[in-house]
Structure formats: structure tokens, C-alpha cells
Amino acid sequence: MSDRYSRQILFAPIGIDGQRRIEKKHVLIIGLGALGSSISEMLTRAGVGKLTLIDRDYVEESNLQRQQLYTEMDAKEKMPKVVAAKHRLSEINHDVYINAIVGEADILILEQLAPNVDLIIDGTDNFEIRFILNDIAHKYNVPWIFGSCVGSFGSTYTIIPGKTPCLHCLLQKIPMRGQTCDTVGIIAPTVQMVTSYQVAEALKILSESEKALRNTYITFDLWENQYLSIKTSDAIRNMDCPTCGKERTYPFLAFEEQTKFAVLCGRNTVQIRPSTISHLSLGELASQWKQAGYEVKQNPYLVSIQKEEIRLVLFKDGRALIHGTNDPAKARRIYYSLMG
């Protein structure tokens, strides 16, 4: 075996046998932003056999502060993140097979990939995709690792189908912040803290050391020096959960549960309609966006925000109009960057 992994092999919980298992495993990483780029680099250096990377976005200058795989040239050329990542990762370790997919991690492609992977890792920026991942992982009995970060706040949780509460169960008990990096920013150490937890859990799963897996939901705030580890006991798991309960329906894989996107003919506008009516607090969102430096206008029925050449108009029921583009992928990226 190559000397490349000698220090990892010297770590007794992995050893030679664990390293050999890692080299045979296939990991699916959804999102190649801050979390995904860090995760993919650590797993490439650790010698995982195959990585499948999915991301719809391209590299921008604002990414370089925390997304460690990318360069100024990638941003200048607006290189798709998975293409830039594959090039860099192949230079780091040519023995790792990199399957790079430029596009949306939609249900169709996830249904095709999930039966052939050993682990799914979350590097996304919105909860719609995370709930789809949660359903996919349970449908195909694949472990997955949730991760989230914004500002100096991060959280992570390892989900093993049939053994732990799923994300759907968890979020009935633990509230999540509705902030995004575009509204409150982010510092790079937050990213590294989350991904360190995620990759440590990944190595346990890939080396088949499941007994060492953490059974807690971890959340922290690096700036405020706060840390909380919540034990995810069976009390949190809901036996009536449609994702992990006794009678599973996997609701987030159903068409009616997905956010709908429609290009409005002749208006250079994309309409986004969430699956459920949420009755948002427009005042709260307007205040948050103003603090982030955006141009915001509001009346009792809607709030409008200007973001460069794009204007987003958000209604109280969660429906949004993205003016200035007829590209659903671009509209989706803007929507999630502002809404979380």
C-alpha cells in the first residue's frame, strides 16, 4: 500500500483494513460551495475510491474567501464549480475517481445515483434539497450527513436510516435559523468546523467503524463561544414520520411537495412557488435585507429587493417573482441565497 496514507493507517481505529475499505467506497457530495469543496478535498486526500460531485453553480469572486478549491482564474472564467473542483482534486490525488456533474441535484438524478453510493454528504444551501436527500437516503438505505453554516453558527448531524431519527423528525424538535450567507455573511472557520465533524463521521462510516459514530446533533457559535450537543434519542424519532416511520411515503419525492418554477412569457421573469403556503413575516425579512445592504421596498402585500441587475418581489404566501432573468437555475440560486 502507498506511503501516501501511512499516517492515516497509523491511526489505530482505521488501520490497514479500514484504509482498504475507504478505498473501495463511493461518496456522493451534493453542493460544491464552502462545505462541499472542503469535504471533497479531505476525502480525496484520505483516499476514498470514488467521489460523485453535483453542483449547478459557477465560481464567483465572493466564493474565494471560504471555498478553498477555487482560484482567481476560476472566478474570472466563471468556471462551473464541479469542473474546477475535479481539476484541482485530480491534481491532489489521481487515484481517486471523480465523477463531476454540472447541474441540479434533482430527484431524477438522485434516484439514479443513490443505489450505487455508500454515503451521501450535504454541502447544500437550502432545506428543500435537504428534505429530498433525507427521503432518498431512507428510500435506498444510504447513510447521509447533514451540515449547515452561516455567520459564525454551524450545525451537523449524522443520519443512519433505520437507526437514528431522520431530518424530518429532528426539525420538529430543533428550530433552524432562517439566515443565509448573502444576508448575514460567513467566516471561514465556521465552514472548517462543520466539515471537520462531517468528514470525521464520514471516515467512520467508510472504514466501517459505525460504533464510533456520534449520536448527537451538534450546533455551535464560534464567535459567541457557544457549543451544544443534543442527544438524538428514540424519543425524537417519530414512528409516524412519513420518511423514516412505519408507513413510509417519502413525501418530498412527490411532485406536489416540490417548489415550482415557471418562466413568465415575454417578461424576462421567473416565478417561484413553494410547495406550501408559509405566510412569511415580510417586515422581518425586509429588515434583515436592509441590514445586509440591499435596496428594499415594502408595502403590506409584498417586499421588493434589488440585487445587482435582478429584482426579487416576494409575496406573503412565499411566492416570488425574479425579474431580470428567464433562467430558472439562476432564479433558483438567487431565491435560495436570499431566503435560505
Q: Grid coordinates 451534493 are at which residue?
A: 30
314 closest CA partner among 106, 284, 325: 284
List C-alpha distances in Å: 22 to 15, 30, 103.
11, 19, 27
Predicted confidence (pLDDT) at residue 157 exceeds the cutoff of 60: yes
Say which of 166, 169, 181, 241 is annotated catalytic.
181
- 3-state helix vs strand vs coil in the chain, percent to 5: 40, 25, 40
pLDDT at 269: 85
> pLDDT per residue over 110-134, tens digit each?
999 999 999 999 998 878 789 999 9
Helix (H) or strand (E) holding 260: strand 260-264
Q: What is the DSSP string of 88-101?
A: HHHHH-TTSEEEEE
* Domains of the chain, start order: 3-253 (3.40.50.720), 259-339 (3.30.310.10)
**pTM, to two decimals:** 0.82
Please indicate whether residue 241 is annotated as part of the active site.
no
Exposure pattern of 33-62 as b/e (b: 16+ CB <10 Å)?
bbbbbbbbbbbbbbbbbbbbbbbbbbbeee
pLDDT at 268: 82
| Residues whose CB falls within 8 Å of the CB of residue 94, separated by 6 or more in sequence, listed in order | none
Predicted confidence (pLDDT) at residue 339 exceeds the cutoff of 70: yes
